[in-house]
Amino acid sequence: MQNQGLGSWIHRQRVKSGSKTALIFRDERTSYAELDERINRLAAVLRANGVEHGTRVAFLGDNHPAFLETFFAAGSLGAVFVPLNTRLAPPEIQYALQDSGSLILVNTLALDELAVRGARGTAVALRLLVDDGTGTAAFDPGELPVKPYEASLESASGGFPDAAVSLEDGAIILYTSGTTGQPKGACLTHANLAWNCFNVLVDYDVAGDDVALMISPLFHVASLDMGVLPNLLKGAAVILETRFEPGRTLELIEKYQATFISGVPTTYQLLCEHPDWAKRDISSLRKLTCGGSAVPLRVIDAYEERGLGFSNGYGMTETAPGATALPPKWSREKAGSAGLPHFFTSVRIAHPNGTLAAPGEVGEVQISGPNVIKAYWNRPEATESSFTDGTWFRSGDMGYFDDDGFLFISDRLKDMIISGGENIYPAEVEQIISELEAVSGVAVIGVPDAKWGEVPKAVITLRDGFTLEPAEVQTHLDGRLARYKIPKSVVVVEDLPRTASGKIRKKDLRSEYAG
């Protein structure tokens, strides 16, 4: 077989697990053989519309089988998959489509208006519209051609295309909020995704009889490459849930005897605080993976009372995404730790001068391994500045190792905010707030939140003679940024604390507004 990439995985799995359930969506089961057939048909549709090796194919929609069908179909042709965050505003969608140069956009009916607005003025030549059962009338497509997804598959035919694809070819472009206000496309290769899967298989012991319930958005690499892909690689069953709802999740765990779920601390907190928590049978669960931040001890207590433990982890899009994992047996003794490096991944702590830090010394967390990206899409300068010594990726996070080699994250060098598992880079938000005529200075920081872990807060100074109501700031951002990025609170101050060089001391602001 010429195709050595992930686009061949379902076709290879068909031989081993053809009759086994691959996907469950809204109580409908799809076998590996059926999934392979649908992927092949979609590949034929894409190829007939100009998709070839290196072409970018985008997807905009909530969790749906079409997401995975598009991912694997693109991979079977050697094309590059571009999943789009459904919570972005039209200008953000447009930027990602323009920057990636995506030729085809597959989108669900529920997000048709967002897709149309985002695709305007881009290289997108065709949209494939997925009927996701929302019953929403299609938004006026304007000038852009659109075809029904399901009808297109039904009229297509053809076997597995088996294009020549190497492990070093690009597989997926994921847009991460830029620290300078401009999102970057992290281009992960087939090798990056595969090696991350191998790490998951070793460190989380995924098995062929697992039933993985995916309640986190697939457009995040954590859900895709820490959950879906490793389970499909093992021939396990994957349940796709459109959106997370605690009661519904507990119901599905019981109904399908799910063994594997993944999420962020907020996810697990909402589950154990739901009225049905004590009523539902969740005894089938064996693996609970969590990322984004440390799991609060009170949440750990609630799960341990039911015989369950967490595998907490640390990583980022650029590491596909796993860097470290904390096994359940250490969750209490090493509370707050991000764990040990994944099996095929190396992690070090370095000082600014390049020397390695001793245990207990804080420095920058740097990661190396076959799961680490080689480059950002069309950003050679960003690529070069993100690596040191050629192979060590600079995470921008500060941390330290304890005497046992467990990693602890102590601060975020890039001031990134993690809200409910979503990454928010303040510079992106600050840039748009600064457009307001009344604003003379702005700093966006993360402040604690009982539900989301932390939420953004804007601290603003005004020009002489100007006034500004907090609601005006939020109104200015509404429609231009995803709602989770919009500050939940805005405060106007006389001065912002600054260093001698004029940089805002965000650490001081976080200390002041942490309460």
| Residue 178, pLDDT above cutoff 70 | no
The pLDDT-based confidence of 294 (bands split at 50, 70, 90) is confident
Alpha helices in 144-282 (DSSP H): 149-155, 190-204, 221-223, 229-233, 246-256, 265-272
Map out the domains of the chain as residue ranges: 6-18+34-166, 417-513
Alpha-carbon distance 223 to 238, whole Å?
11
Alpha helices in 316-457 (DSSP H): 380-385, 426-433
Which strand (E) or helix (H) includes residue 84? strand 80-84
The pLDDT-based confidence of 216 (bands split at 50, 70, 90) is very high
The pLDDT-based confidence of 501 (bands split at 50, 70, 90) is low
pLDDT on residue 468: 94
Alpha-carbon distance 67 to 218, whole Å?
8
Indicate the CATH number for domain 6-18+34-166: 3.40.50.980
Which three-class secondary structure state does DSSP give residue 231? helix
Burial profile 109-135: b = 16 or more Cβ within 10 angstroms, e = fewer? bbbbebbbebbeebebebbbbbbbeee
Average pLDDT over all residues of the chain:
93
pLDDT on residue 392: 97
| Residue 500, pLDDT above cutoff 80 | no
The pLDDT-based confidence of 181 (bands split at 50, 70, 90) is low
pLDDT on residue 433: 93
| Residue 137, pLDDT above cutoff 80 | no
Closest by CA position to 152, among listed 132, 133, 131: 131
pLDDT on residue 296: 79
Query: Is the alpha carbon torsion for 253, 256, 260, 264 positive or negative?
Result: negative
- Arithmetic mean of pLDDT, 426-440: 88
| Residue 179, pLDDT above cutoff 60 | no
Alpha-carbon distance 6 to 60, whole Å?
20
**351-370 tens-digit pLDDT:** 999 999 999 999 999 999 99
Model pTM score: 0.88
Instruction: Give the C-alpha distances (Å, rounded to integers) separating 117 from 92, 143, 219, 314, 501.
Output: 10, 11, 19, 35, 42
The percent of residues in the chain predicted with pLDDT above 90, rounded, is 81
- Arithmetic mean of pLDDT, 77-106: 96
| Residue 317, pLDDT above cutoff 90 | yes
| Residue 150, pLDDT above cutoff 80 | yes
The residue with greater pLDDT, 412 or 191, is 191
Alpha-carbon distance 336 to 332, whole Å?
9
By CB neighbour count within 10 A (0-12 exposed, 13-18 middle, 19+ buried), where does 262 fall?
Answer: buried
Instruction: Give the C-alpha distances (Å, rounded to integers) separating 512 from 154, 333, 452, 501, 508.
Output: 60, 31, 20, 21, 6
| Residue 288, pLDDT above cutoff 60 | yes
Which three-class secondary structure state does DSSP give residue 44? helix
Alpha-carbon distance 350 to 394, whole Å?
9
Instruction: Give the C-alpha distances (Å, rounded to integers) separating 110 from 61, 97, 116.
Output: 8, 19, 12
pLDDT on residue 292: 76
pLDDT on residue 359: 97
Which three-class secondary structure state does DSSP give residue 414? coil
Closest by CA position to 337, among listed 363, 313, 366: 313
**363-412 tens-digit pLDDT:** 999 999 999 999 999 999 999 999 998 899 999 998 999 999 999 988 67
- Arithmetic mean of pLDDT, 257-286: 94
Closest by CA position to 349, among listed 303, 298, 407, 296: 407
Architecture of domain 417-513 in this structure: 2-Layer Sandwich (3.30)
The residue with greater pLDDT, 335 or 90, is 90
Closest by CA position to 426, among listed 477, 372, 364: 477
The residue with greater pLDDT, 463 or 23, is 23
CA 18 to chain CA mean position, Å: 29
pLDDT on residue 92: 94
**45-77 tens-digit pLDDT:** 999 999 999 999 999 999 999 999 999 999 999
The pLDDT-based confidence of 266 (bands split at 50, 70, 90) is confident
The pLDDT-based confidence of 426 (bands split at 50, 70, 90) is confident
The residue with greater pLDDT, 298 or 232, is 232
Which strand (E) or helix (H) includes residue 506? helix 506-513
